């Protein structure tokens, strides 16, 4: 197997952050070389505490945690914190005991720059919160965009409504100025917006399956997921939750799981559409210079699944994909054609690297069947 991809997860844990972090720690394709923290779902101090706590739960206190910014890139202190989505403690109101470990001395931005210099072109930053730390890294070292391997970010609502308001998605809304810096930095940026993460749902039924597992992660996640489910039931009337952060993480693990388009993204930084991500597809040559002219392009995910080059079925099949039939979705239903929330390896070893460690062979067979069915649907 190829050398695992080095990733730094910039995170604001966060229930779906916890899932993404566990998923990363259970995926042999990636090596988590650090967590960096940011405000968003909780304030930064609590994000650091939760990051340390999650590593403790996973038995991975060897991984360093670097604390990130407490303010936006423009030094704004009026932050929008989504505790109504994740609970006051960010982890489903479980009031876990404080972690024993402490963050390292370096700031998140300094740590990210340092690692990019240590392994030029080899580090992927998976940014799961507002993009302040990444923009600060670019400020610290203008060569950073060319030294970082890739920035996979969860953010934006491309051609769909946001989740903060009709214009803006939460992570971009959290620091639109930082987001605009990152999108126009010239780094290899891959953005996964809620237009795609809303395709990936953990249903009530999936959670029931998770609850049957004795796995350490499964038991932990079932506890913290309660609050996240009730928020989604109330806010969206869905019988399940959106897996925003795990989906972005999977894009970093295996980009071939999604289909992308490429163009220039600018972010609206003020007014009623503050936080809006506007993608220019480069199809029209405008007669005048625009705010999108001569800016570097980025990759933007347009859907889970891909029509031709899908690696699913080559021995390692990645789950966590639920594929909506968009025509039925228009009727207000949520018809899930694909159900699999786990990274499933369909080789002889019957190994499951699962978010929730639902690792019985029986389950594996069941899921593989679903996945094969799904593949046909995805590739037709
Ligand atoms: O309705 C919401 N408001 C604010 N934040 C949200 C909402 N739903 C999910 N998230 C959080 O923001 C990111 C995706 O935009 C995810 O990290 C998710 O946990």
Ligand 1, atom nearest to 235 Cα? 1
- Would you say residue 312 lies in a domain? no
pLDDT at 142 over 50: yes
Does the residue 157 lie in any domain?
Answer: yes
- Number of domains into which the chain is organized: 1
For residue range 78-105, list pLDDT tens digits in order. Answer: 999 999 999 999 999 998 999 999 999 9
What does pTM read for this prediction? 0.84
pLDDT tens digits, residue range 205-262? 777 877 777 777 778 888 999 999 999 999 988 778 888 998 898 889 878 777 788 9
Q: How far is the CA of 177 from the centre of ligand 1 (A)?
A: 19
Q: 89 lies in a domain?
A: yes
**Can you give the residue range of the structural domain that contains 110?**
1-306
Q: How far apart are CA 10 and CA 19, in angstroms?
A: 14
Active site residues: 12, 244
Report yes or no on 114 lying in a domain.
yes
Atom index in ligand 1 nearest the CA of residue 163 equals 1
The best mutation among 80, 87, 244, 277 to test binding of ligand 1, ranked by most ligand atoms within 8 Å of the C-beta, falls on: 244
Instruction: For residue 168, report the distance from its CA to the centre of ligand 1, in Å.
Output: 11
Instruction: Tell me the per-residue pLDDT of 263-307, one tens digit each, with 9 for 90 and over.
Output: 999 999 999 999 999 999 888 889 999 999 999 999 999 877 643
The CATH number covering residue 34 comes to 3.90.245.10
- Given a contact cutoff of 8 angstroms between Cβ atoms, the answer to whether 184 and 157 are in contact is no
Helix (H, G, I), strand (E, B) or coil at 324: strand
Residue 107 domain-assigned? Answer: yes
Higher pLDDT residue, 349 or 111? 111
Is residue 72 in some structural domain? yes
Residue ranges around ligand 1 (CB below 6 Å): 14, 16, 41, 82, 85, 128, 163-164, 169-171, 194, 244-245
Give pLDDT, residue 369: 31
Q: How many CB atoms lie within 10 A of CB 160?
A: 14
Once rounded to an integer, what is the mean pLDDT over residues 183-199? 93
pLDDT > 90: percent of the chain: 59
Per the domain annotation, does 325 fall within a domain?
no
Whether residue 39 is predicted with pLDDT greater than 50 in this model: the reply is: yes
Question: Is pLDDT of 70 > 50?
Answer: yes
pLDDT at residue 172 in the model = 98
Rounded Cα distance between 74 and 139, Å, is 12
Return the pLDDT at 354.
Answer: 31
DSSP SS3 for 275: coil
Confirm whether 6 is domain-assigned.
yes
Locate the ligand 1 atom nearest the alpha carbon of residue 242 and give its number: 9
Higher pLDDT, 145 or 339: 145
Strands 240-242, 201-203: pairing kind? antiparallel
Q: Residue 351 class from Cβ within 10 Å (0-12 exposed, 13-18 middle, 19+ buried)? A: middle
């Amino acid at each position: 197997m190829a050398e695992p991809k080095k990733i730094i997860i910039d995170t604001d844990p966060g229930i779906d952050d916890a899932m993404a972090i566990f998923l990363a720690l259970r995926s042999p394709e990636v090596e988590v070389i650090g967590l960096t923290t940011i405000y968003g779902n909780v304030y930064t101090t609590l994000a650091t505490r939760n990051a340390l706590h999650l590593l403790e739960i996973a038995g991975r206190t060897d991984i360093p945690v670097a604390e990130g910014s407490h303010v936006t890139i423009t030094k704004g202190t009026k932050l929008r914190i989504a505790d109504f989505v994740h609970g006051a403690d960010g982890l489903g109101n479980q009031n876990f005991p404080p972690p024993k470990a402490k963050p390292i001395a370096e700031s998140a931005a300094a740590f990210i720059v340092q690692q990019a210099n240590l392994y030029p072109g080899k580090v992927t930053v998976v940014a799961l919160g507002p993009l302040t730390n990444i923009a600060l890294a670019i400020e610290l070292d203008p060569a950073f965009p060319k030294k970082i391997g890739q920035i996979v970010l969860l953010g934006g609502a491309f051609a769909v409504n946001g989740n903060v308001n009709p214009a803006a998605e939460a992570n971009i809304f959290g620091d639109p100025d930082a987001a605009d810096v990152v999108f126009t930095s010239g780094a290899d940026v891959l953005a996964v917006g809620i237009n795609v993460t809303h395709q990936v749902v953990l249903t009530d039924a999936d959670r029931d399956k998770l609850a049957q597992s004795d796995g350490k992660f499964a038991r932990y996640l079932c506890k913290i997921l309660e609050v996240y489910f009730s928020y989604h039931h109330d806010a969206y009337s869905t019988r399940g939750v959106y897996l925003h952060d795990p989906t972005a993480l999977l894009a970093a693990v295996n980009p071939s799981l999604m289909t992308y388009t490429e163009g220039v993204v600018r972010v609206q930084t003020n007014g009623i559409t503050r936080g809006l991500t506007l993608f220019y597809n480069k199809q029209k040559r405008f007669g005048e210079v625009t705010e999108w002219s001569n800016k570097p392009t980025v990759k933007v995910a347009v859907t889970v699944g891909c029509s031709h080059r899908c690696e699913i079925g080559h021995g390692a099949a990645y789950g966590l994909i639920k594929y909506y039939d968009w025509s039925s979705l228009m009727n207000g239903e949520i018809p899930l054609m694909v159900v699999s929330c786990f990274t499933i390896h369909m080789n002889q070893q019957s190994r499951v690297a699962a978010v929730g460690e639902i690792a019985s062979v029986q389950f594996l067979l069941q899921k593989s069947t679903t996945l094969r069915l799904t593949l046909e649907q995805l590739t037709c």
